[in-house]
Amino acid sequence: MMKSIKILSVCLSVAALVCFASCSDDKQDAPEPLPPYKPITPTPDPGGNEDNGETFTSGMVDLDNGQICIKQDLDRGGSICYLSRSGEDRSVVNIHDEGRLIQQSYYAGNSLNRQSEGQSPNWSPWTWNPIQGGNYAGKKARIVECLRKDNTLYVKCIPMLWDMNNHEAEAVMEQWTTLEGNVAHVRCRLTCHRTDEIYGEGIARDQEIPAVYPISALTTLYAYLGNAPFTSGTLSTPTVECLQDGFWGRYDGKSNPIPQEKWMAFADANQWGLGVYSPKAERFLAGRSGFVGGEAMDASTAYIAPICTAALKKNSVMEYDYYLILDKISTMRSTIYDIHQKVNSNNQ
């Protein structure tokens, strides 16, 4: 289990959220990695043809459809660093360090002590943990390709190992982001090509699909915690659990009910905010670190992570889709119902 309290004094990062249900180093009968998930509107791989769109190598690249604006930071592996309503300049994404943002993060293998190789003592022992933004020391993931065409932004990067001082992961991360009204539809892919012999295989780990850090000025947490999903049952506003009190809130069917509609949201006093819907989620983590009222650059942050369990092998490919929605809670939920219906229709 992670060292939650000690970590707070060093740096709050996406890697602090590893595997609340499968942190044990004991090997177990683990499920195979998730099969590739069929997105609602598949976007063909760019294939390197620069005539098909605009290419970029650094800085922030945006998409704006007149309803919402999203930006991805090519100096942080193409992680989502900004999300707002069009025409406004207040982002709902916390970007205090490389572990925040909205980004891909995965876990595999045994937890190892690699301090002699440059591993941070504050993150030791640790699993194989490639993340999109960069490592604990602020070293950024390397962008390989970025293409913007029409209403879609594609990025490809070499992620960093979170716990190591300057180690790129033997993996490639890809991401397709498309705006659909007030929804950002994101498809993620991790391709592993590990050659190490140290971490081992066949160990089930919890995967953040994805890691989402809203600003802590969005104070109220919303979810459906009943047993009749997608029937417009009463929403819950559970007490926001704080990392400084021990850990994030666990919505795993034990500590708290599982959000059966596979979404959670943080919203302000007007019930407007950011929701994340992840169709392959099995349970969730959610909470706050620090205080309410924080904005994009502040140390305080909110957090939501849809979670699934998968055993990533040396050559695994893992894909999933998720949706970010900016809206009032009532209409946000209606939008999620529409997406859910389309997902089910496409998977039949």
pLDDT at 114 over 90: yes
Contacts of 209 (CB under 8 A, 6+ apart): 188, 278, 280, 281, 305, 306, 307, 308, 320, 322
Could you tell me what percent of the chain has a pLDDT over 70? 85
Could you tell me what percent of the chain has a pLDDT over 90? 83
CATH number of 4-22+54-346: 2.70.98
In the block, tokens 């034990």 appear at: 254
User: Which pLDDT does position 51 carry in this prediction?
Assistant: 61
Query: What's the rounded Cα separation, in Å, for the pair 168 and 125?
Result: 18
Q: CA torsion 301→156→262→253, rounded to 10°?
A: -70
Cα Rg, the chain, nearest whole Å: 19
Query: What's the rounded Cα separation, in Å, for the pair 159 and 143?
Result: 9
Instruction: Assign 3-class secondary structure to the chain.
Output: CCCHHHHHCCCCCHHHHCCCCCCCCCCCCCCCCCCCCCCCCCCCCCCCCHHHCEECCCCEEEEECCCEEEEEEHHHCCEEEEEEECCCCCCCECCCCCCCCEEEECCEEEEECCHHHCECHHHCCEEECEECCECCCCCECEEEEEEEECCEEEEEEECEECCECCCECCEEEEEEEEEECCEEEEEEEEEECCCCCCCCCCCCEEEEEEEECECCCCCEEEECCCCCCCCCCCCECCCCCEHHHCCCEEECCCCCCCCCCCEEEEECCCCEEEEEECCCCCEEEEEEECCCCCCCCCCCEEEEEEEEEECCCCCCEEEEEEEEEEEEHHHHHHHHHHHHHHHHHHCC
Task: State the chain's maximal CA–CA distance in angstroms.
Answer: 54
Per-residue pLDDT tens digits for 158-204 = 999 999 999 999 999 999 999 999 999 999 999 999 999 999 988 99
pLDDT at 281 over 60: yes
pLDDT at 56 over 50: yes
Which pairing describes strands 79-85 and 60-64: parallel, antiparallel, or unpaired? unpaired
pLDDT at 289 over 80: yes
Per-residue pLDDT tens digits for 9-54 = 334 444 444 444 333 333 333 334 333 333 333 344 444 444 679 9
Per-residue pLDDT tens digits for 214-273 = 999 999 999 999 999 999 999 999 999 999 999 999 999 999 999 999 999 999 999 999
pLDDT classification of 345: cutoffs 50, 70, 90? confident
User: Which pLDDT does position 127 carry in this prediction?
Assistant: 98
User: Residues 271-292: what's their mean pLDDT?
Assistant: 98
In the block, tokens 């859910």 appear at: 340
Give residue limits of the domains in the chain: 4-22+54-346
* CA 273 to the chain's CA centroid: 17
**Cβ(275)–Cβ(336) under 8 Å?**
yes
User: Which pLDDT does position 45 carry in this prediction?
Assistant: 46
**Cβ(134)–Cβ(76) under 8 Å?**
yes
User: Which pLDDT does position 346 carry in this prediction?
Assistant: 84
Q: Evaluate the omega torsion of the peptide bond into residue 159 and state whether it is cis, within 30 degrees of 0.
A: no
